[in-house]
């Protein structure tokens, strides 16, 4: 005999916390150095405390491992641990201002951003220290942009845990970028590339590629064409995946509204489609 329990499994979460931050700033007058009249340098220290508790959360054991609760943990989104954590960081920013002729407004943008952070978990009796994190953004001329972030474990022998890097060039009508994705715990090491070009004012082409450096395999390559009109656009995209999981996608976008119609052919499930919000096909 099978007994059915219709009692809903609900997870109640209570989150409390606060931020404490300040800022110190100084302006450097450059006159007209490479078209830049002034640089604003700011230093922004910040401390955050977060307390998270509730039912169905993972709990720290004396060994430092997390113990799952009665709610099924299907993926990392479901696995929410309890938390009593301090996170502290220091952000350095350089903002630039261009020279502006009389009667015009100067252009301002973030030239450099560097963030260094760390965390301390009060509830973990074995590994309270989090990874040291760093984030660097360089945008010297609004054409070339570099961004990189990394995390480093302070425990002996573990070293760098994650590292991502992106280099992009934006020269209208072409945008191109190349980047890497590294995650030691998840055994991820990817090289990614993106290229987009406005062929005309109503048509944009895009190319993307994802190369798994560990297995020397092109995991996914995609080519897309987007046709744009005043209030709507239509996109067709072909995705070629490793192990014959190719896919052809079509999408109709109402600008300012969303995607009322999208479908695809191929992949693991063949032709697919499901009702989205408002009865739309997605």
User: What's the whole-model pTM score?
Assistant: 0.77
- What DSSP string runs through 183-246? ETTTTEEEEEEEEEEEEETTEEEEEEEEEETTTTEEEEEEEEEEEE-SSEEEEEEEEEETTS--
Tokens standing for 135? 């984030």
The span from the CA of 25 to the CA of 43, in Å, is: 7
Angle at 174 between CA 242 and CA 179, to 5 degrees: 45
The span from the CA of 149 to the CA of 162, in Å, is: 8
What's CA 42's distance to the chain center, in Å? 24
pLDDT of amino acid 113: 97
Give 68's DSSP letter. Answer: P
Decide if 64 contacts 125 (C-beta within 8 A): yes
Domain boundaries along the sequence of the chain: 12-130
Give me the helices (H) in 35-186, please: none
Residue 117 phi, psi dihedral angles, 5° rounding: -140, 165
Residue 36 Cα distances to 28, 29, 39, 169, angstroms: 11, 9, 8, 20
Among 27, 39, 26, 170, smallest CA distance to 99 is for 39
Three-state DSSP class for residue 278: helix
Tokens standing for 69? 């609760």
Tokens standing for 159? 């070293």
Decide if 109 contacts 96 (C-beta within 8 A): yes
pLDDT of amino acid 165: 97
Tens of pLDDT along the chain (282 residues) come to 667 766 666 778 889 999 999 999 999 999 888 889 999 999 999 999 999 987 777 778 877 777 766 666 676 667 788 899 999 999 999 999 999 888 889 999 999 999 999 999 999 988 999 999 999 999 998 899 999 999 999 999 999 999 999 999 999 999 999 999 999 999 999 999 999 999 999 999 999 999 999 999 999 999 999 999 888 899 999 999 988 889 999 999 887 776 666 777 765 444 444 334 433 322
Burial of 180 (0-12, 13-18, 19+ CB in 10 A): middle
Q: Report the C-alpha dihedral over residues 231, 223, 196, 252, rounded to 10 degrees.
A: 10
């Amino acid at each position: 005999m099978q007994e059915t329990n219709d009692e809903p499994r609900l997870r109640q979460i209570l989150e409390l916390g606060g931020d404490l931050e300040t800022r110190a700033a100084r302006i450097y007058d450059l006159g007209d150095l490479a078209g830049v009249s002034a640089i604003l340098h700011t230093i922004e220290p910040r401390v955050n405390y977060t307390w998270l508790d509730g039912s169905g959360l993972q709990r720290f054991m004396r060994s430092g491992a997390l113990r799952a609760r009665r709610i099924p943990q299907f993926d990392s989104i479901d696995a929410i641990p309890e938390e009593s954590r301090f996170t502290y960081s220091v952000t350095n920013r350089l903002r630039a201002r261009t020279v502006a002729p009389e009667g015009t407004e100067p252009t301002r943008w973030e030239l450099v951003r560097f963030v260094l952070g760390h965390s301390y978990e009060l509830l973990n009796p074995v590994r309270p220290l989090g990874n040291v994190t760093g984030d660097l953004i360089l945008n010297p001329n609004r054409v070339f942009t570099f961004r990189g972030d990394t995390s480093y474990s302070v425990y002996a022998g573990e070293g760098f845990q994650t590292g991502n890097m992106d280099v992009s060039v934006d020269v209208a009508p072409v945008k191109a970028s190349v980047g890497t994705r590294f995650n030691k715990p998840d055994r991820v090491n990817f090289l990614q590339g993106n290229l987009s070009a406005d062929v005309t004012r109503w048509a944009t082409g895009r190319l993307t590629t994802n190369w798994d450096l560990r297995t020397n395999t092109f995991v996914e390559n995609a080519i897309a064409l987007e046709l744009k009109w005043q209030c709507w656009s239509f996109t067709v995209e072909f995705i070629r995946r490793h192990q014959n999981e190719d896919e052809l996608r079509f999408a109709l976008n109402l600008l300012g509204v969303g995607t009322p119609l999208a479908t695809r052919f191929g992949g693991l499930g063949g032709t697919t489609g499901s009702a989205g919000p408002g009865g739309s096909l997605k």
